[in-house]
Amino acid sequence: MTTPERYLQHVLPTYGRFPLVPVRGAGARLWDETGKSYLDFCMGIAVCSLGHCHPRLVEAIRHQTGELMHVSNLYQSPLQAELAEEINVHHVRLPGKVFFSNSGAEANDGLIKSARRFGLKRPAADGSQRYEVVTFLQSFHGRTLGAMSATAQKKIHEGFDPLLPGFRYLPFNDIAALENAVRPETAAILLEPVQGEGGVITATPEFLRAVAALCKKHDLLLFFDEVQAGFGRCGDAMAWRVIAPEIEPDGISWAKGMGGGVPIGSFWLSDRAVDPGGTALSSLLGPGSHGSTYGGNPLVCAASLAVLREIREQDLEANATRQEAHIREIIGSWKLPIVTEIRGKGLLLGIGLDPALIPTPEGKTPALVIVNQLMAIGLLVPPAGPNTFRLLPPLNVTTAEVDEALAIIKGVLEGYCH
């Protein structure tokens, strides 16, 4: 039986999968089972921050599997504590505390639960618990019942009613819509500083600042979902800092790039006081209030420490910023009418396509047509919405690799511009 045949027979058909069967990777390259090689600018959707099988990450995992892979959160893991310190001291650089989950959706569920605890501590004027979390159209927060309900996309909700109550959706980057956005039950606002799955849409500095001001004014928690954008991807350790660096969020969620390929997620809560008695926000989830069996085990923490230290020590954020400038300059110089815009920050970039120039068969989107064509000639990129494909190379990508990818893209896109 071939791999696609085994899938058909044994794996739930929840993903629309390409026929590609990758079996080996090194750096920015991936090989399929026939031995064909690809330049990988998908990177497991922004997961493999250091590229495939980076020696430092491989060695950290090898070493830790021989020491200790898992202990219960009943006990204390030096690696979990070290990773939390690394995140707080070197990446967030604000006083706070982290919880380790196994995915981005779980991290967001943690933030949603935190908002409810906060709403209990700081109730509405009539004494009732606040619980509502405001999120934004085109957002993506994950697929658990909680994270899916926070996600403001119809196609994600389809057939799964009733959703978890306590969410309201507003248009993104619309400052006027923020007025009247707050109700007595509202407790928090959650947003992606750079929306990823929804099409690579960057929050404007004005919008981010207006949201932060609204949170201050109405005693709401400000949460950033940096699951895709965080840890160097956007050109700074934290994505919001490339947009409005002075903002101090109350909570942050991460996953994808922080593990470089091992399943780890996390959320962070600020130490700031939430009442006159000085109760820290980060103290509201006390013993017994939240948990995860695997969360932050020694194996994934050793891996994540290697990834975050490599990003920091090699200043890969700066490389992301440099490569972004290079990519924007080169694509801009093509002056191809099919490219409507380049959106995003750092190495979370979306190339917007003019759908009118791309003949599209039934059931496909213009982005998928292009993505398939690029794959056929050796470049992997993920779509983002119907008319955009993403560039998500590893954070240590070289200019030569970027130029190779851009040459492939140019060749394909030129074919639509005669």
Ligand X SMILES: *Cc1c(COP(=O)(O)O)cnc(C)c1O
Site residues for ligand X per CB under 6 A: 103-105, 108, 140-142, 192, 196-197, 225, 227-228, 255-256, 265
- What's at 205, amino acid-wise? P
Closer residue to ligand X (CB): 92 or 182: 92
**Least distance to ligand X, CB of residue 180, Å:** 26
**Least distance to ligand X, CB of residue 104, Å:** 2
**Least distance to ligand X, CB of residue 140, Å:** 5
5 burial level (CB within 10 Å; 0-12, 13-18, 19+): exposed
**Least distance to ligand X, CB of residue 283, Å:** 26
Interatomic CA distance for residues 267 and 253, integer angstroms? 4
Closer residue to ligand X (CB): 103 or 149: 103
Q: CB neighbours (10 Å) of residue 94?
A: 15
Q: Which residue is nearest to ligand X (CB)?
A: 104
Closer residue to ligand X (CB): 54 or 141: 141
Closer residue to ligand X (CB): 105 or 308: 105
Contacts by residues 58-66 (CB-CB < 8 Å, ≥ 24 positions apart)? 59/306, 60/302, 60/303, 60/305, 60/306, 61/262, 61/299, 61/302, 61/303, 61/306, 63/302, 64/298, 64/299, 64/302, 64/303, 65/299
Q: Report which of 162, 171, 160 is spatially closest to residue 136, judged by C-alpha positions.
A: 171
Interatomic CA distance for residues 81 and 63, integer angstroms? 18
**Least distance to ligand X, CB of residue 192, Å:** 5
Structure-token pair, residue 203: 């929050």
Handedness of CA 184, 185, 191, 197 (dihedral sign): negative
Closer residue to ligand X (CB): 197 or 236: 197
**Least distance to ligand X, CB of residue 316, Å:** 19
**Least distance to ligand X, CB of residue 154, Å:** 17
Closer residue to ligand X (CB): 103 or 186: 103
Closer residue to ligand X (CB): 84 or 156: 156
CA 255 to chain centre: 7
CA 263 to chain centre: 13
